[in-house]
A and B are shown apart, each in its own frame.
Chain A
Amino acid sequence: MADNLKVEELDQVVVRFSGDSGDGMQLAGNIFSTISATVGNGICTFPDYPADIRAPQGSLTGVSGFQVSIASDKAFTPGDKCDVLVAMNPAALKTQYKFCKPTSSIIIDVDSFKKADLEKAQFEATDAAGAIAEMGIKQDVIEVPVTSMVKDVLADSGMDPKAMLKCRNMLALGLVCYIFNRDLSIAEKFLRDKFSGKKAAIAENNIKVIHAGYDFGANTHASVSHTYNVVSKQTPAKKGRYMDINGNKATAYGLIAAAEKAGLRLYLGSYPITPATDVLHELSKHKSLGVTTVQCEDEIAGCASALGASFAGALGVTSTSGPGICLKSEAMNLAVIMELPLVVIDVQRGGPATGLPTKSEQTDLLQVLFGRNGETPMPVIAATSPADCFESAYAACKIALEHMTPVVFMSDAYIANGSEAFKLPNLAEYPAINIPYVPESMKGTWTPYMRDERDVRYWAVPGREGFAHILGGLEKDSKTGAISTNPENHDLMCRLRQSKIDKIPVPDVEVEGDKDNADLLIVGFGGTYGHLHAAMDEMRAAGKKVALAHFRYINPLPKNTAEVLKKYKKVVVAEQNLGQFAAFLRMKVDGFAPAQFNEVKGQPFVVSELVAAFNKLI
């Protein structure tokens, strides 16, 4: 590295890798985030991929992006805009440039800016310089002959040209590592672990290419005015072993952990649907843990079979997105009246109907709370980050099993696909799951709707002698368990099912920031936590008094909800829908009249927009 090159110390930087769907941008981004996490930085990633599986190569609709934010402390969001943009082709430059700041550096593969490439991306220009001028780009553009360098480096590798081109992403990664002063030995280890045994040659070739990219940066100073360093702030609480995890994988892990803790077989009945399918994929891999996955004929059967599995004594789970919830509603409702455990995973996407399948919204909230016939109270838990999907899925299972009820676990496309560092959990430290099996002493006197002091009925699993019984969708007598249309009994049963849910203990909602003297309380739920937190941090850094109450438990609401919401003179509920959580809170907290910030764009919140909107409220 040249001595006169400036190294800028930063708290947070954002890199966006972009290219064709097949260019390996997600892998490059993943390795970069892992390297950063390994040195103790906070990471938060956001893959932004197109709905088309393989749009035509080089076309504007086929661009795939991967944004990673690395921070000296916790990274709450993947960042609104990036400090470095890697654009592997003209289409990427054209579509991703909007994510650049005025100070961004842009890296392009100049070899892929030939006339034909530019035409595919609808440029009139015939070379890179022309394209840059055509777009009016004023930022530093580092023109790197990525393709030809990769071919040179791998000339003696015996690889065919097509395979060589697959390594272009590693050259870009090497250069990014140079710019951010990252230690390549971690990337080397990552690749050697990923490609071992017969694939070891792949690892070595990729490593060669990464070094070439890094050296290119060092030799040319990468034509940049400075490199960056994001120092890790070490705190004792952060000590431990970590892995990178996205929300869907964390959800699957939470289910596995809960089933193991409860000593039950985990059964997933599911049907493929974006963006929830990776939960099915992940669980399907782990048969060695006894996990049973059935890819059913439809969403209805996914949920129905999970309920059948629960009846038979397993932990029944079904996974889907909003359109699937529509179809599962009847079986979810059956679970309400049969009072069996069931966990329904709703990874929200844009709606209505097919809507925006790969994009993120929070528009299913009222559907999962109320979208069923009859009085059908159902606990709802909304995970707040990729890693929190683990905690929330575990909590959903615990409630379902301990309170004999279906539970909805909500995440969304953003946290399902986004990733962050996940401290390896020690299952022994997690709370026990105590299942209300019917005690043997009740044999002979037990009926299916007898309840304990929490209004929870007992679970009698088929196979137990002396406890044969029938459950079903018809209303039952509270005492005998026989079918009953008695008006008083039905009223009582509706109230008991409600009171059972109301009695579920959930932790208080925590207020962060200026909890004693905030001029504005921000309220949110679920996957927007990172963005709302980042907005609060930014406002507080500017001297504003702001607090955040972010909800994970939606139903039942935490006991301190009303107290918290009424404590501050100004409250704003910010959510990615047209006001569903605000409406629910108004219904539950008498006299609550918050300001609202609503956006339904299918994209994560933009922190700067949140800050601008919130500032107007103070």
Chain B
Amino acid sequence: MSEYTAKDYKKGQPRWCPGCGDHFFLASLHKAMAEIGVAPHDIAVISGIGCSSRLPHYMATYGMNTIHGRAAAIATGCKVSNPKLSVWQVSGDGDGLAIGGNHFIHANRRNIDLKMILLNNRIYGLTKGQYSPTSPRGFVSKSSPYGTVEDPFRPAELCFGARGHFFARAVATDAEGTVNVLKAAHAHKGAAGCEILQNCVIFNDGTHEAVYTKEGRAKNAIYLKHGEKMLFGENNEFGLMQDGFNVKVVKLGENGITEKDILVHDAHCEDNTLQLKLAMMDYPVALGVIRDVEAPTYDDAVNAQIEEVKAAKKYHNFAELLETNDTWEVK
């Protein structure tokens, strides 16, 4: 049992709009941290710029609210140089995938032990309503009055494309689902991408409407659990089956389909092909831990290499370093 409560991680009064998904997520993060139980002074929460990047101000941990897009890069230096810290990086979809897209993919590729939270409301809120890299094609916003003419990123696809080893998804209003995902991210050693689907009540209300309520999720979402059958629906009447190179939704009892035909989720499978299929579904929307594969982390490897070289080399301080050079004496 953890010696901490959610209160130990709370600070200040959030200034997000009433009803903003950030409020819901923050409450879940406080709760998850209390359950995880790492001391607040051993945690660093690092964000970029944007509405969601205000989050570290409401954490009683160490934190930085940095510059637009660079949170993953800053968090990288933090974790590599001080590996005992638990480092959480918080970004929105603009911060993390537009201006910070390069750092997002490389943090995943290197597999740095960062808990990478992506609060995805598919809009730029703080700059008052422009389309983001996750806005759907045709999206009408202040900067796209006639609709966008570009396709969006899907965070999971980027994460997998960058050889990420962990990807999970939750809906901000779903406290239990969010806490579970955050705890799984903490338990995973390595870069842990968590996409949080959330609303922007002012500029993009209803963007995740199909899954934003409990009733909606019952119909339109599937909670993936490693080792369990992929069943969903109000009465678990639907399931997922493999269909050639695809995954398809089937109804139990129809066409002779029974539970034994339904796929079992394997989050630990090294090959991410099916995991990607699950992450890309529009119906049902996959929630929970989609991929969770163990792999060597960058920060461990960097520090292990330093120890190996220390053991192999004969010079360990500056004076000894000087002696490795050709020298001469002027008498």
Contacts and interface: CB of A to CB of B under 8 A. Distances in A.
A106 B68 CA distance: 59
Interface stretch (B17-25, B163-171, B322-330): B322-330
B74 A311 contact: yes
A331 interface: yes
A296 interface: yes
Interface string A444-467: 000000000000000001111111
A239 interface: yes
A589 interface: no
A495 interface: no
A398 to B, nearest CB: 15
A239 B329 CA distance: 7
Contacts of A306: 77
Contacts of B325: 243
B291 to A, nearest CB: 22
B221 interface: no
Contact of B328 (A34, A330, A427): A34
B81 A265 contact: yes
Contacts of A309: 77-78, 80-82
Contact of A240 (B305, B310, B330): B330
A464 B41 CA distance: 6
Interface string A412-450: 000000000000111100000000000000000000000
A483 B54 CA distance: 10
B82 A313 contact: yes
Contacts, number: 210
B82 A37 contact: no
Contacts of B309: 287-288
A425 B331 CA distance: 16
A473 B67 contact: yes
Interface in B274-331: 302-303, 305-306, 309-310, 312-319, 321-322, 325-331
Contact of B85 (A242, A288, A334, A462): A462
Interface string A174-216: 0000000000001000100110000000000000000000000
A288 B82 contact: no
A34 B326 contact: yes
B76 A294 contact: yes
B77 A304 contact: yes
Contacts of A267: 77, 80-81
A294 B328 contact: no
A269 B314 CA distance: 25
A256 B321 contact: yes
B44 A473 contact: no
A60 interface: no
A244 B67 contact: no
A38 B66 CA distance: 52
B34 interface: no
Nearest to A425: B322
B77 A294 contact: yes
Interface in A229-264: 234, 238-244, 253, 256-257, 260
A241 B329 contact: yes
Contacts of A38: 328
Given A334-B67, A462-B85, A465-B39, A316 B77 contact: yes
A468 B73 contact: no
B74 A305 contact: yes
Interface in A298-341: 298, 300-301, 304-314, 316, 330-331, 333-334, 338
B70 A472 contact: no
A267 B329 CA distance: 33
Contacts of A190: 326
A500 B63 CA distance: 24
A269 B70 CA distance: 14
Which of A241, A260, A294, A426 is most buried by chain B, counting CB atoms within 10 A of its CB?
Answer: A294
B66 A294 contact: no
B5 interface: no
B329 A240 contact: yes
Contacts of A53: none
Nearest to B85: A462
Contact of A242 (B41, B61, B314, B329): B329
A37 B74 contact: no
A526 to B, nearest CB: 25
B260 interface: no
Nearest to B312: A288
A8 interface: no
A292 B330 contact: no
A292 B306 contact: yes
A294 B80 contact: yes
Contact of B41 (A305, A313, A424, A465): A465
A554 to B, nearest CB: 26
23 contacts: A239-B330, A241-B330, A243-B326, A243-B327, A253-B322, A287-B309, A289-B317, A289-B318, A292-B302, A296-B76, A298-B102, A307-B74, A308-B64, A308-B73, A308-B76, A308-B79, A309-B82, A311-B74, A312-B44, A314-B81, A427-B318, A463-B85, A469-B63
Interface of A: 34, 37-38, 40, 186, 190, 193-194, 234, 238-244, 253, 256-257, 260, 265, 267, 269, 286-292, 294, 296-298, 300-301, 304-314, 316, 330-331, 333-334, 338, 424-427, 461-474, 482-483
Interface of B: 12, 39-44, 46, 49, 56-57, 59-67, 70, 73-82, 84-85, 102-103, 106, 302-303, 305-306, 309-310, 312-319, 321-322, 325-331
**What 10 A-B pairs have minimum CB-CB distances, sorted nearest first?**
A308-B77, A305-B77, A472-B65, A312-B82, A288-B313, A309-B77, A301-B73, A304-B73, A308-B74, A309-B81
Given A461-B82, A469-B63, 7 more contacts: A240-B329, A260-B318, A294-B77, A308-B46, A312-B85, A334-B70, A470-B59
